[in-house]
Amino acid sequence: MFKSGFIAILGRPNVGKSTFFNTVIGDKISIVADKPQTTRNRISGIKNYPDAQLIFLDTPGMHQPKTPLNRAMVQAARDTIGDADVLLLMVEADTLIGPHELFVIKALDTIKTPVFLAINKIDRVEKTSLLPLIAQYSKLYDFKGIYPICALKDLGVEALIKDLRETLPEGPQLFPNDINTEATERFIAGEFIREQIMVMTQQEIPYAAAVSIDAFKEDETKNLIRISATIHVEKESQKAIMIGKKGVMLKKIGTRARMSMEKLFGAKVFLELFVRIKKDWTSSEKMLREFGLLK
């Protein structure tokens, strides 16, 4: 008996969905930053077992959107719900149940797909606080199972994965054993650049930046990948911050992104970055489509 299927990871922004995703897949595919709304697109990660293939779908954080960009991100998460065989809702152990959690749970009201709950970041709380929290969530929704975990330290994850596997339907292997994501190398390269923008810059800059890959050329004889990318921002002031004095900020972003790429791709990377202004792109449906954030 072989089982296969899609598992969508849902939750409000910054609960640790991408950290869990990377921990399970065993490689850094989805970018991680200590800022909400880091993930903008759905991204897949494939975990293979002798008797099962689990395709995890990391999704943007679900929240009440106020801008076209945020609406596109939330829609991407909602669309993923319909594509999944199993849903995994993630919340934080050190956060009281509030409007954000209730908003996400309400989105599951009409869902017939099995829903598991992972209470993440248990390393931040006393064990005695977990049972009352589990009881509260049990009253809000009929979860298939509730699992206290710490994705960052890989605590409690194995038991959760075991039960997710058992819940998946019988089916064939959907992807070859030698790939761990459907995402293209071009997409991942763009995400690694955006990750460093999230980490290195402050205030509104990370949310006003998009990355497009202009060229991606592999030279197998030299084990070298040449990448040319453009960082798009909305204002001249943002461009100045992104480049930095004498180009220092842009160089730091490029260096750190290149190191992540080389680790994942297993090749030397030559990365060339440019910064251009796309005025008010976060409010333009045309631009959101151009950057692959809106269907």
Residue 114 maps to which CATH number?
A: 3.40.50.300
Same domain, 125 and 240: no
Which residue in the block uniquely carries the two structure tokens 């017939």?
Answer: 112
Does residue 295 surpass a pLDDT of 80?
Answer: no
Does residue 193 surpass a pLDDT of 80?
Answer: yes
Single residue among 116, 140, 167 that ends a domain in this structure: 167
Same domain, 204 and 127: no
User: What is the reported pLDDT for 83?
Assistant: 87
Same domain, 133 and 207: no
Token representation of residue 114: 């099995």
Same domain, 74 and 44: yes
User: What is the reported pLDDT for 35?
Assistant: 83
Q: Compute the distance between CA of residue 243 and CA of residue 275 in angstroms, rounded to an integer.
A: 7
Q: Compute the distance between CA of residue 189 and CA of residue 213 in angstroms, rounded to an integer.
A: 8
User: What is the reported pLDDT for 206?
Assistant: 87
Instruction: Tell me the CATH number at 242.
Output: 3.30.300.20
User: Model confidence at 75, in pLDDT bands (50, 70, 90)?
Assistant: confident
Arithmetic mean of pLDDT, 19-44: 90
Which residue in the block uniquely carries the two structure tokens 């030559």?
Answer: 270
Q: Compute the distance between CA of residue 291 and CA of residue 14 in angstroms, rounded to an integer.
A: 22
Reference 53, options 81, 24, 78; nearest CA is: 24
* Total domains in the fold of the chain: 2
Residue type (1 letter), 15: V
Arithmetic mean of pLDDT, 51-78: 89
Does residue 3 surpass a pLDDT of 90?
Answer: yes
Q: Compute the distance between CA of residue 262 and CA of residue 255 in angstroms, rounded to an integer.
A: 11
Q: Which residues pair with 120 in a beta bridge?
A: 92
Yes or no: say if 254 and 263 are a contact pair by the CB < 8 Å rule. Answer: no
What pTM, to 2 d.p., does this model score? 0.90
Does residue 271 surpass a pLDDT of 90?
Answer: yes
Does residue 119 surpass a pLDDT of 90?
Answer: yes
| Candidate from 76-80, 196-200, 259-263, 275-279 with smallest mean pLDDT | 76-80
Let me know if residue 155 belongs to a domain.
Answer: yes
User: What is the reported pLDDT for 181?
Assistant: 94
Same domain, 75 and 149: yes
Which ranges constitute the DSSP H helices of the chain? 17-25, 68-83, 99-106, 130-140, 157-167, 185-200, 236-243, 248-265, 285-290
| Domain around 191 | 185-290
Same domain, 116 and 15: yes
Could you tell me the maximum CA-CA distance found in the chain, to the nearest angstrom? 61
Does residue 216 surpass a pLDDT of 90?
Answer: yes
Q: Compute the distance between CA of residue 290 and CA of residue 295 in angstroms, rounded to an integer.
A: 9
Arithmetic mean of pLDDT, 12-31: 93
| Candidate from 37-41, 152-156, 160-164 with smallest mean pLDDT | 37-41
User: What is the reported pLDDT for 64?
Assistant: 81
| Cβ partners under 8 Å of residue 90, min gap 6 | 9, 10, 11, 15, 16, 17, 20, 117, 118, 120
Q: Compute the distance between CA of residue 160 and CA of residue 47 in angstroms, rounded to an integer.
A: 14
User: Cα–chain-centroid distance for residue 36?
Assistant: 11
